[in-house]
Amino acid sequence: EPSAKVIDGKSVAKQIKEEISAEVSKLKEEIGVVPGLAVVLVGDGKDSATYVRNKKKACEPVGINSFEVHLPDDASEEELLKFISGFNGDLSVHGILVQLPLLSNILNAVTIEKDVDGFHPLNIGRLAMQGREPLFVPCTPKRCIGLLHRYGVEIKGKTAVVIGQSNIVGMPAALLLQKEDATVPTVHSRTMNPEEITRQADIIISAVGQPNMVRDNWIKPDAVIIDVGINPVEDASSPRGYRLVGDVCYEEACKIAAAVTPVPGGVGPMTIATLLSNTPSSAKRAYNIK
């Protein structure tokens, strides 16, 4: 019988959005500042256009101003830098997102005060160092830790295994868990016997991109599992011909874990909320408001 608690990202996202709206209204009333989020999109990729459109659509209901620049695939670096430095100096902009087809040194160009994606090497460096705090933390891992907090999961002193070590999810997730005094082994594509390592884990965060990779024999009884993976698998019964599953075999995890995030409905719905929350925080910092 399934016994795991289902971690509900949708309801947490709703709470976060309400908190952001309240924070934005307060900023408006107290100092007349409307937080602004700028998006610089390069290339014609369908996925990144959707991502950017969703971010933009999410700003309006919580009262954040949104700005956008869309450049073609063959835009020059010089042109791109011109827009970024324009937003760096623009007082109505408090957060800048750069959506590029490839990660590049352009990420260094966003001033760290407005790096709401948290991808600037200085922000990552501060995240890794003892006694230093980043100005922003990458959103997806921040969300994973946020879910653990909101569900009252103890992190300090626990073994938390991160599967995946990408710059945008796995690596910063491991650093965040270390900052919270967990012991953090990581598993990647060349790890031998990964299930022996994950079986030690009180907490598993998986960000791989392999459907149903984490089976019941990878999981310690009563572990807490955060599944970041979003993987399409063929499904003739769905009108689209596919459905989305996580990296973790959900049905099996439900029988052995203490709590688990569903896919979809776990980490995914919080993407936008977490990202938005960085923009009013940035505006508050710019005006020295607690």
* Closer by beta carbon to ligand NDP, 153 or else 208: 208
Which ranges in the chain belong to alpha helices (H)? 9-31, 46-62, 77-89, 121-128, 139-150, 170-179, 194-198, 250-256, 270-286
**φ, ψ dihedrals at 59, nearest 5°:** -65, -40
* Closer by beta carbon to ligand NDP, 200 or else 210: 210
230 near ligand NDP, judged by CB under 6 A: yes
- Residue of 43, 86, 185, 209 interacting with ligand NDP (CB under 6 A): 209
Neighbours of 290 (CB within 10 A): 4
50 near ligand NDP, judged by CB under 6 A: no
Scanning residues 161 to 180, which ones bind ligand NDP (CB under 6 A)? 163-166, 168-170
231 near ligand NDP, judged by CB under 6 A: yes
**φ, ψ dihedrals at 176, nearest 5°:** -65, -45
65 near ligand NDP, judged by CB under 6 A: no
Contacts with 138 (C-beta within 8 Å, 6 or more apart), sequence order: 117, 118, 119, 168, 169, 172
> In this chain, which stretch among 70-78, 84-92, 97-105, 266-274 interacts with ligand NDP, using CB under 6 A?
266-274
* Closer by beta carbon to ligand NDP, 98 or else 283: 98
- Residue of 182, 267, 275, 283 interacting with ligand NDP (CB under 6 A): 267
226 near ligand NDP, judged by CB under 6 A: no
Tokens 């993976």 label which residue?
229
Give per-residue burial for 67-81: e unless 16+ CB within 10 Å, then b.
Answer: bebebeeeeeeeebe
- Strand partners for 66: 37
Q: How far is the CB of 99 from ligand NDP (least distance, A)?
A: 13
* Closer by beta carbon to ligand NDP, 87 or else 159: 159
Q: How far is the CB of 230 from ligand NDP (least distance, A)?
A: 4
Sequence-separated contacts (24+) of 17-21 with Cβ below 8 Å: 17/61, 17/62, 17/273, 17/276, 19/277, 20/62, 20/64, 20/273, 20/276, 20/277, 20/280, 21/61, 21/62, 21/63
Which amino acid is it at 242?
Y
- Residue of 185, 210, 215, 285 interacting with ligand NDP (CB under 6 A): 210
* Closer by beta carbon to ligand NDP, 33 or else 249: 249
Task: Please give the DSSP secondary-structure letter assigned to residue 129.
Answer: S
β-pairing, 259-260 with 224-227? parallel
Q: How far is the CB of 121 from ligand NDP (least distance, A)?
A: 17
> In this chain, which stretch among 18-26, 130-138, 181-189, 277-285 interacts with ligand NDP, using CB under 6 A?
181-189
Catalogue the active-site residues: 55, 99, 117
> What's the CA gap between 242 and 177, in Å, rounded?
34
> What's the CA gap between 125 and 175, in Å, rounded?
10
* Closer by beta carbon to ligand NDP, 35 or else 229: 229
> In this chain, which stretch among 70-78, 83-91, 223-231, 254-262 interacts with ligand NDP, using CB under 6 A?
223-231
Whether residue 114 contacts residue 122, with contact meaning beta carbons closer than 8 Å, is answered with no
- Residue of 24, 161, 207, 272 interacting with ligand NDP (CB under 6 A): 207
Name the site residues for ligand NDP (rule: CB under 6 A): 140, 163-166, 168-170, 187-190, 194, 207-210, 228-231, 267-268, 271
